[in-house]
Amino acid sequence: MPVANLIDGRAIAEGIHAETARRIEALAVREVKPGLAFVRVGEDPASVVYVGMKERHSAKLGINSRTHLLPESASEAELLALIDRLNADPAVHGILVQAPLPAHIGAARVYARVRPEKDVDGFNPVNVGKLMLGDPTGFVPCTPAGVHELLIRTSVPIAGAEVVILGRGNIVGKPMASLLIQKARNANATVTVCHSQTRDLPGHCRRADIIIAAIGVARFLKADMIKPGATVIDVGVNRIPDPQAKSGSRLVGDVDFENVQPKAGWITPNPGGVGPMTIALLMRNTVRAAELASAA
């Protein structure tokens, strides 16, 4: 059986970065420099790595970024006060509050506090509502938007396609479904969202033209769960033990890649698939926020 075509997320992300860089140059002519504020609470190791990656890409593109650190013990009121200061700062066009937040802080209240026009992560209820309604003036969460771009730029047919999304989370599953069901260009799919209570989940997967795995279980999607030629997008990030690794563990996706790849049509590697796209869309959202602010 032929080896599946890999969707090179790094290469596609670089193309988006190039487009974003040209928009930054156009802003510079008007003496506008996009500003992005990262907010991190505590020292979660993964969060430290993710914010560091986003900072480096910001610097490379010429986006003025700054990370604001609060201790794990910081109160919700302290975090909201910091967000209020960033909301009021005209040099800050985008605000990203890095997840996860400590258990004593209400994430929904925090995301709602970020002004919609600075909500480059797309989690404010106003932007969530705009996405659901098909209003393009809002900001779309970066990972679903990145997956959408992967499909579009790989010329995967979306209109009329049977799509299965594994996972119903607020960060990927729900917004991904909203993007693909819209009566709009590069949408019009028939979407099934599967989760822990879904009956005959493998049966749903085997009917799908496109499967987007964001269920948070290492190597969950097996080869016998897809039909030949299906497009498979792996959003998962799971740490598993690995005695051969220096750290004693390694990261894998939600897809059993080695066995699924020969059967799939298009498939994302992990890493190198969705991850770079999430950052690319964050940078693009930030530049768009700066464009909108400077036009106001």
- Catalytic residue list contains 121: yes
Indicate the burial class of 277 (C-beta count within 10 angstroms; 0-12, 13-18, 19 or more).
buried
Q: Which of 119, 121, 234, 254 is catalytic?
A: 121
CB under 8 Å to 184, separation ≥6 — which residues?
134
Q: Which of 98, 118, 119, 256 is catalytic?
A: 98
Contacts of residues 255-260 at CB distance under 8 Å and 24 or more positions apart, as own/partner, are: 255/213, 255/219, 255/220, 255/221, 256/219, 256/220, 256/221, 256/222, 256/223, 257/219, 259/222, 259/223, 260/221, 260/222, 260/223, 260/226, 260/232
Q: Which of 54, 118, 130, 263 is catalytic?
A: 54
H or E element, residue 56: helix 45-61
Residue the block writes with tokens 């997840």: 99
Alpha carbon separation from 107 to 4, 54, 270 (Å, rounded): 39, 21, 28
How far is it, in rounded angstroms, from Cα 199 to Cα 185?
31
- Catalytic residue list contains 54: yes
Contacts of residues 236-239 at CB distance under 8 Å and 24 or more positions apart, as own/partner, are: 236/270, 237/46, 237/275
- Catalytic residue list contains 98: yes
How far is it, in rounded angstroms, from Cα 282 to Cα 292?
15
State the Cα angle at 215 between 210 and 216, rounded to 5°: 135
Residues with catalytic roles: 54, 98, 121
